[in-house]
Amino acid sequence: MMWRVVRLYGLLFLVNLALLVVALIDCLSTDEDEVRNLPKIAWVFIILLFSPVGAIVWFVAGRPQRAGARPGAAWRPGSGFPEATRPQRAPDDDPEFLRGLAKSRRDDEEMFSKWEADLRRREDELRRREEGEDGEGRPPLG
């Protein structure tokens, strides 16, 4: 009979400890502005001092309500992709996106060609200056 009571108390102690740890971690990892009804530090003290009732009250009255993504709600990293703002198709399936890529590539190639032509012109100009007018690599005599 005594061992049953000891085992029951041991089990209740472990459940209380697990509830306390989970509630404390959840409270500490919640943003300050999302905590309901009391400041975050007050919730920490309530959870620690009034175990297990404090942990249960945290889950009922203090924990932020995590509603699904509302249309127009700001997306935060780690909160998943809000279904209302999910693109309907992949970018590589969108003809407008592909046209934009082709135009961007043409623009880049055109700019690269201009840079190459400018570089060749500058190299030729530098070569002419180095060779001088006599063409023997010496500067012209003044």
Q: Give the per-residue pLDDT at 85.
A: 64
Q: Give the per-residue pLDDT at 63.
A: 84
d(CA 23, CA 56): 8
d(CA 44, CA 48): 6
Mean pLDDT of successive 10-residue segments in the chain (142 residues)?
A: 85 93 92 87 92 90 69 59 62 76 90 95 93 61 52
| Residues 82 and 75 sit within 8 Å (Cβ to Cβ) | yes
Q: Give the per-residue pLDDT at 72.
A: 56
Q: Give the per-residue pLDDT at 73.
A: 59
- The domain spans of the chain are 2-65, 91-131
Q: Give the per-residue pLDDT at 80.
A: 61
Q: Give the per-residue pLDDT at 90.
A: 66
d(CA 20, CA 127): 79
